[in-house]
Amino acid sequence: MKNIRNYLLLIPILLLSFSCEDAFLERLPLDSPSSETFFENETELEMAVTGVYNRLWYWPAGVAWFLSFDFASDDGWDRNGSPLQALGRGEQNADNSYTNGFWAHFYRAINRTNFITSRADHLRDEMDPAKYDRLVGEARFIRAYFYAYLAELYGDVPLVTSTLTLEESQTPRTQKSAVIDFVLQELNAIKPHLPLDVSEKGRISRGTVLALMSRVALWNERWDVAASAAKELIDSGTYSVDPNYEGMFTFAGDNSPEVITRIQYLRGVQTHNLPRNFWSRMALGHSNKKPPQDFVDTYDCIDGLPIDESPLYDPLRPFENRDPRLHYTLVVPGSRLVNWIYETHRDSTMTWEFRGEDSVRVPNIEAQHAFASFTGYLYRKHIDVANYPTDVGSTDQNLTIFRFGEVLLNYAEAKVELNQIDESVYDAINALRQRESVQMPAIDPGKSQQEMRNLVRKERRHELGMEGFRYFDIRRWGIAEEVIPGPYRGRVNRYGGGGWLSEAPRIDPIGTPSYDHISNVEDMVVIETRNFNPQRDYLWPIPRIELETNTTLTQNPGY
C-alpha cells in the first residue's frame, strides 16, 4: 500500500489536533497529538503533509474541483439548478456558494501548510534532512498551487504564509502580481528538494513543480518563465507523449509515460462518483454535466480542416472523419458507451445492447427520458468502462491533474507570444497531433505569429478539452465576452432532417462555431441563455462573509 495512503485513516486525529486550541484545555491530551506538542517526530510530519494532500479531494457541484470550472465555460453546463449553473449564466454574486466554497477550501489548505512551516522546522535536525525538505516541499507546493488559483479567480487576495493570531486576522488583499511572484518563488525554492519523477503518481515531484510553473507563468503572461520551465521538463526526458490518448484517462493512466501527477483515491478511504455524473441513464449515470453542440463542432476533420471547409464533412454523418480526440473526449450519437449504442434522437426508441459477442435491440431510455442528456451529448474523458456496473457511484479511479501534453502546449504558446517560433514549437504541437491514436496532420512550418497563436489556441481546446483549462483560457485571452453570451445549444432534436444541422456552422480561426446562418438553427435545443459582463465577470466576487469578518477586504468591481 502506498505510504501516502497509509496515513489517510489517521487524518481525523490530525485534524482534531489543529482545532484543540480552546482556552479551557489546560492539559495536553495523552492519547492523540496536540497542537501544542506537534510536531514531535517524523511520523507526525508525514501525517500533517498527508492532511494537506487530502485538500485535493474537493468536489463542488458533484464534480472534481479542477474540472468544475469548465461547466461555466463554453465547453460545459451543469444540469442541476446549482450555484455553478448560475456562474455559467453570469448571475453569480457574493453569496454564491460555489464561488465562496473555493475561497474557504483553498485557505483551509493554505492554513494547514502554514501550520507545518511555522512549527516543524526543528524536525530538520531530528530526521533525514532530505526527507524533511521533500515533505515540507510537497506541502508548500499545494499552498502555491491553491494560491495560483485564488489569484486567477479573485485577483488580489490576502497572502498569508504563517499561522495568524486573532489580532492578525484582519489581513488586506495583496496585489495579484505579488501573489504570483510568491507562487513562482516558492516553486523555485522547493524544486531542488523533490525528485524529478516519482513512482507514486499521487506525490508531488519536480516534474509537477515545473508543470505548474509553466502553467502559472503562462496564465500571467510571463512568457520567458513559462517557456523556460516547460523546456526544462521537456529536455529532462522524464516524460513522453502517450501513444494512447484515451488510455491516459482510465485506470491505465497510473502508468502512462505522459501523466505527471494524479489525485489518488482508495476504496474505503475516499472515492468519487464522476461516472454517475457523466454517463447515460442506460449506463447507470445521471448525465448531470452536458457538453454543447459548440464543443462538438470545434473539432476538425481528419484532413486538418475545420468542418466548414473540409470536403470530408457530411452534415448527415457529422461524426465521421473527425479528429479522433472528439470521440475520446465526448460521447456522440451512434457511438458505443459501455454496452450500448448511444442514441438521443427522439424517435430512436430502440438501440443496440452488446452481450458478449451478441447484440440485441433493447428499449432506449436516452431517447425520451426527462433527465437524459439535454444536449444530446455526454463526456467520455476521465472514466474507465471498468467502473460499470458496480463502481459507477463510487469509484477509486485516480484523476490526472498534470500531464506532459499540457506542458508541450504551454511551451508552444509561450514561444509564440515571444515571437520565437522555431522548429521546437512545431515539434511540441505535432507531437500531440501525431500521437499514434490521433494521427492528425502535422502543422507545416512557415506560419506567422498570428497564425500560430490561433493554431495553439485551437489545439488547446482539442487536446485539453474537459481538463479544467478552457474556463481560464477564454478569460486570459480576453474572449469570454465573445464566446459565452447567447444561447447554450444542444443538437437538433426534431424528426425532420434526421436530427442534424442542415449545413456546417462557420468556424473561426480558433475553432469557435457560429450558427446564425444555419437554416434549421431554430430546431437546435437551447438549454439556457447566458450572459457575460466584461466589466465584472473576469473575476469572482469576494465572499460576503469574508467582507463582514475581515473589514480590510474590498469587493471586486460590479458586485
Q: Where are the domains of the chain?
A: 274-400
Q: Is the pLDDT of residue 12 over 60?
A: no
Instruction: Supply the pTM of this predicted model.
Output: 0.93
Q: Coil, strand or helix: which one is 354? A: strand
Q: Is the pLDDT of residue 16 over 60?
A: no
Q: What is the Cα–Cα distance from 304 to 299, expressed in whole angstroms?
A: 9
Please state at what angle helix 449-463 crosses helix 404-417, rounded to 10 degrees.
160
Q: What is the Cα–Cα distance from 101 to 61, expressed in whole angstroms?
A: 10
Per-residue confidence band for 346, with pLDDT thresholds at 50, 70 and 90: confident
pLDDT tens-digit readout, 227-264: 999 999 999 999 999 999 999 999 999 999 999 999 99
Q: Return the pLDDT at 169.
A: 87
Q: Which residue type does 377 have? A: Y
Q: Return the pLDDT at 34.
A: 62
Q: Which single residue is written with the C-alpha cell 468591481?
A: 557
Q: What is the Cα–Cα distance from 222 to 147, expressed in whole angstroms?
A: 17
Per-residue confidence band for 494, with pLDDT thresholds at 50, 70 and 90: low
Beta strands 378-379 and 399-403: pairing type?
Answer: unpaired
Q: 236: how many CB neighbours lie within 10 A of its CB? A: 13
